[in-house]
């Protein structure tokens, strides 16, 4: 296995013209944005999805397969987030250098500590992920770990630009650590605030900011709630009231709107990824907007 991986990496490197950049296909907007931060003009980056698409459910269109065919590196979340479509894209691309197990395939989830790892795998429990909850991008601290691992992979594939990639990583890390300090200071009033979530999309955000998740509007992950289930959550709200209900921008708003109207609490749409809201245009504004919206809801605005 190690020998085949090394040979794969060598074939990729030797296929680069001296002045060529890496061509990267990122499955979701956050990794596309991170790759641009780390690669700058040395990389060409395409995103397979937008901030308003459900990353679990994407169609493997010919245009997407064509992008994979020309890529040197695929950056995926992993943890089965893209299991419904990425294997098809990779297989149909015919590109041997970006298949799982080769240097041209990278999974961000392998760089972080996963939450919600199931003790028992049973599809009767809903859309569960064996490796844990894949929505790692909602905690900015995870992006530092992913950036380190992704930089190492980019250097492996494009060693001639190693110094430039390391410099970009250092600059990103300094900027990002300062931003995390600022966000945590701004978000201090959110610590301990009870929230409902429409989908189990925010365990990393909840852990980071110290929010208290008291319920989910889906009876099981990925399963639409019935009226009777929502009524049971509303009844529980009387005993353990949440201050707001959160949903990712890509999800339809009917369940959270139903709950917000009856419980008299704000329904908060969070960008979830770059492009999820008009204000979340890059990684910094993604978290600027996330913190701003949560604080606005807490203040009743």
Q: Calculate the CA 105 to chain-centre distance.
A: 17
Same-domain pairing of 107 and 237:
no
pLDDT band at residue 131 under the 50/70/90 scheme? confident
Give pTM, 2 decimals. 0.90
**pLDDT for the residue numbered 222:** 83
pLDDT reading at 128 higher than 80:
no
**Tens digits of per-residue pLDDT, 200-253?**
999 999 999 999 999 999 998 888 999 999 999 999 999 999 999 999 999 999
Tell me the average pLDDT of the chain.
Answer: 92
Give bridge partners of residue 23 from the DSSP assignment.
Answer: 44
Counting residues of the chain whose pLDDT is more than 90, the rounded percentage is: 85
**pLDDT for the residue numbered 126:** 54
Phi, psi of 230 (to 5 degrees): -60, -35
Same-domain pairing of 174 and 198:
no
**Tens digits of per-residue pLDDT, 151-181?**
999 999 999 999 999 999 999 999 999 999 9
DSSP state of 160: G
Same-domain pairing of 122 and 215:
no
Same-domain pairing of 175 and 196:
no
What would the two tokens of residue 202 be? Answer: 């925010």
Give the three-state DSSP class for 73: strand
CA distance 179 to 212: 23
Same-domain pairing of 219 and 281:
yes
**pLDDT for the residue numbered 74:** 98
**pLDDT for the residue numbered 119:** 76
Domain boundary among 181, 199, 216: 181
CA distances from 259 to 213, 245, 270, 296 (A): 15, 8, 16, 18
Same-domain pairing of 166 and 198:
no
What would the two tokens of residue 51 be? Answer: 């901030």
Rg (CA), the chain: 20
Domain count, the chain: 2
DSSP assignments along 190-213, one per residue? GTT-EEEESSS--HHHHHHHT-EE
Query: What's the residue count for the chain?
Result: 301
**Tens digits of per-residue pLDDT, 32-45?**
999 999 999 999 99
Same-domain pairing of 90 and 8:
yes
Same-domain pairing of 27 and 165:
yes
**pLDDT for the residue numbered 78:** 97
Same-domain pairing of 60 and 144:
yes
CATH number of the structural domain spanning residue 144: 3.40.50.1980
Q: What is the mean pLDDT of residues 6-14?
A: 44
CA distance 58 to 60: 6
Which range marks the domain in which residue 294 is found? 187-298
Same-domain pairing of 241 and 161:
no
**Residues 120-133: b if buried by 16+ CB within 10 A, e if exposed:** eeeeeeeebbebbb
**pLDDT for the residue numbered 93:** 98
């Amino acid at each position: 296995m190690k020998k085949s991986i090394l040979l794969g990496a060598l074939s990729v490197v030797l296929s680069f013209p001296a002045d060529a950049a890496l061509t990267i296909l990122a499955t979701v907007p956050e990794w596309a944005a991170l790759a641009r931060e780390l690669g700058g003009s040395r990389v060409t980056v395409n995103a397979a999805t937008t901030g308003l698409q459900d990353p679990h459910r994407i169609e493997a269109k010919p245009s997407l397969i064509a992008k994979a065919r020309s890529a040197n590196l695929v950056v995926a979340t992993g943890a089965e987030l893209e299991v419904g479509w990425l294997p098809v894209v990779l297989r149909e691309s015919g590109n041997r250098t970006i298949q799982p197990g080769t240097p041209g395939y990278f999974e961000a989830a392998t760089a972080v500590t996963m939450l919600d790892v199931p003790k028992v795998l049973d599809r009767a429990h809903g859309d569960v992920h064996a490796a844990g909850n894949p929505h790692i991008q909602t905690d900015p601290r995870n992006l530092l770990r992913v950036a380190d691992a992704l930089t190492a992979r980019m250097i492996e594939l494009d060693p001639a630009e190693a110094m430039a990639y390391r410099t970009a990583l250092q600059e990103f890390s300094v900027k990002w650590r300062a931003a995390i300090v600022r966000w945590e200071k701004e978000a201090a009033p959110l610590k301990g605030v009870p929230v409902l979530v429409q989908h189990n999309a925010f365990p990393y955000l909840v852990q980071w900011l110290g929010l208290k998740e008291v319920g989910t509007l889906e009876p099981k992950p990925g399963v639409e709630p019935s009226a009777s289930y929502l009524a049971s959550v509303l009844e529980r709200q009387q005993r353990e009231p949440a201050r707001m209900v959160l949903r990712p921008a890509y999800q339809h708003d009917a369940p959270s709107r139903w709950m917000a109207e009856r419980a008299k609490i704000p329904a908060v749409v969070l960008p979830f990824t770059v492009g999820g809201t008009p204000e979340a245009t890059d990684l910094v504004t993604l978290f600027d907007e996330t913190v701003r919206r949560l604080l606005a809801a807490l203040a009743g605005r």
